[in-house]
Structure 1
């Protein structure tokens, strides 16, 4: 059996193993095959691996020192499919992202400073930069704290993520279709690329309230088919080509808030509804509220510096928006607070010989 060192971490509302890059094969095809074995991909329960049988718990983070002058570490996110033996490295994951700062500090990639340490992260999936502020009293990562995030039981220490250049993360443009609104299958949508490529639409346009539970939406096969048709067409409009084997863009249903927030959201990953909300999705959705003419702005118009509270099936998530001096939507700086926890550290075992670097 092949033993590979890793740390299993919860990052936000996601969970998965975090690896040092030099503990995995340098060849992407070999690396992906190793990760499929690690997670047990190809079985709905991932019973022969350490995956959790859902997209939120079948995620991998790979970390290394960064050669980039404005980053301390590089972070590659890998979404490992559950039932299919396939991985996708197209998107970033903002929830797993909040585990990268603590991991980098604890593995000596970044020197800790008291009372907090800023870890400058370059996401390799999107070539974007993110600042992660981690509490490190006495030069050690603190996981315990009083911060609670919806979708995760208990409390933990806060980790603030600030996305520095999120516009056009995958497509090179905030509005990759060239328009603030498009019409697809008779549904008005906004195709936006802000931290995560998404196709936004009003829930009522698809015969939904936007307040359904995730399980109710997952059970509506007709809705899922319509969303996939819209998503595939949006992918072409956004210059992503055939996205049938990709997890981007993400379809999102929007509705007016009803729990005291700014906007009600139902975020798909893309073929089932997220039980809460992706952190990168939250960045994009909050930014869309500040984009005049977008379907999000139609419900919740935002201007200037603002705190946007996004309702989701598990509660709410808050995003702070800071515009630049010219109030340009593509130059918005967005930040949010998440939490992380180190679950265990050790070796994960897979069949076969050592294939690392």
Structure 2
């Protein structure tokens, strides 16, 4: 036997993201040793994550930790961890809706949730935000099916559809839809909407900071002046939203918005926060769509306020993402279609916690 720590792991794609999935029982319960193991597993601190299984990009440096539900009305707990590529930082403050798409299939195949017919409803408690999300997972013939005809922009090919319903997503981190108390704030002369719905975000009209909003992700990532200004605005927005010093956090996410030009309702460029997302985060889409149905936000002022029930098509660098907003039990809920795939399973190896500067 070698002297590394072997941990059971399943690598999965969820939506337009990818990362390892762990059972909570296979990792330390305490945050410090758990996070140090995740940094070792992913190889963080190197741009290629050469000494780990991370893909050298924020969308492929994500981790899902799944276990039995800790609250009534849920089937499983899901803790999301955004593991920084370039720094030894693990951020568990946000949710990730793309990785969320694979939580249901993982939970069923791990034996945490029984199959309940042709489609199995998995009620997921996101530990990061204390919010509940429902996932409808295709389970024909008594097992998870990954093959189907659903397609999502940003992922090649087709797969089985997984319907996600975000229940009462407002105030995911701060407890308020508009944490500053206003739909629009002026920061450094720029009008922004600070919104917390599934994900804390800062929405900015692209041309207000000298962008068109139609640049590619590569072009935006190369514009260091623009990235610097966005980060300055983001830090100020974080303070106003009550998130404190957000320099080492991935929220709030900066989002550039503009009028659509490819048949959608609004066009966006979503940052993670220091790189532009190659497509769009699922949680980000929920918040952006909610801003479009809320009066006097930069989004509704740009495209005109929409009213539920409505399907909003959001343009992003890889295509479109549709969000269905409708009322259920007196609250507005958001539905999104995603896909997922199991990529491999086995053991991932990490340095023992005693060699990572922490106690088990």
Work out whether residues 118 and 139 of structure 2, in 8 Å CA contact, stay in contact via their aligned partners in 1: yes
1:320 to 320, 324, 328: 324
Alpha-carbon distance between aligned partners in 2 of 1:296 and 1:286, rounded to the nearest angstrom: 9
Normalised TM-score (structure 1): 0.97
SS in 1 for 2:105: helix
Work out whether residues 37 and 353 of structure 2, in 8 Å CA contact, stay in contact via their aligned partners in 1: no
After TM superposition, the structure 1 = structure 2 runs for residues 54-203 of structure 1, keeping only pairs within 5 Å, are: 54-203=57-206
**Consecutive unaligned residues in structure 1, runs of 5 or more:** none
SS in 2 for 1:200: strand
Match of 1:341 in 2: 341
Q: Which runs of 4+ in 1 moved over 2 A?
A: 323-326, 351-357
RMSD: 1.4
- Shift of residue 356, structure 1, vs aligned partner: 11
SS in 2 for 1:323: strand
Alpha-carbon distance between aligned partners in 1 of 2:142 and 2:166, rounded to the nearest angstrom: 25
Query: Can you list the C-alpha shifts for 1:29-86, whole angstroms capped at 9, x where unaligned?
Result: 0000000000001110001110000000000000000131110000000000001011
1:39 aligns with 2:57: no
Match of 2:209 in 1: 206
After TM superposition, the structure 1 = structure 2 runs for residues 184-263 of structure 1, keeping only pairs within 5 Å, are: 184-263=187-266
Alpha-carbon distance between aligned partners in 2 of 1:282 and 1:59, rounded to the nearest angstrom: 18
Alpha-carbon distance between aligned partners in 1 of 2:248 and 2:105, rounded to the nearest angstrom: 32
- Shift of residue 131, structure 1, vs aligned partner: 0.3
- Shift of residue 138, structure 1, vs aligned partner: 1.2
Match of 2:351 in 1: 351
Work out whether residues 23 and 356 of structure 1, in 8 Å CA contact, stay in contact via their aligned partners in 2: no
Alpha-carbon distance between aligned partners in 1 of 2:33 and 2:337, rounded to the nearest angstrom: 35
1:28 aligns with 2:28: no
SS in 1 for 2:102: helix
Alpha-carbon distance between aligned partners in 2 of 1:49 and 1:129, rounded to the nearest angstrom: 32
Match of 1:305 in 2: 309
Work out whether residues 287 and 332 of structure 1, in 8 Å CA contact, stay in contact via their aligned partners in 2: no
Query: Can you list the C-alpha shifts for 1:176-198, whole angstroms capped at 9, x where unaligned?
Result: 00001000011101100000000
SS in 1 for 2:53: coil
- Shift of residue 165, structure 1, vs aligned partner: 1.6
Alpha-carbon distance between aligned partners in 1 of 2:54 and 2:29, rounded to the nearest angstrom: 22
- Shift of residue 324, structure 1, vs aligned partner: 5.6
Work out whether residues 131 and 162 of structure 1, in 8 Å CA contact, stay in contact via their aligned partners in 2: yes
Work out whether residues 35 and 80 of structure 1, in 8 Å CA contact, stay in contact via their aligned partners in 2: yes
Alpha-carbon distance between aligned partners in 1 of 2:353 and 2:299, rounded to the nearest angstrom: 51
- Shift of residue 111, structure 1, vs aligned partner: 0.5
Count of aligned pairs: 353
Work out whether residues 235 and 241 of structure 1, in 8 Å CA contact, stay in contact via their aligned partners in 2: yes
Alpha-carbon distance between aligned partners in 1 of 2:172 and 2:83, rounded to the nearest angstrom: 21
SS in 1 for 2:232: helix
Normalised TM-score (structure 2): 0.96
SS in 1 for 2:9: strand
- Shift of residue 139, structure 1, vs aligned partner: 1.2
Work out whether residues 115 and 138 of structure 1, in 8 Å CA contact, stay in contact via their aligned partners in 2: yes
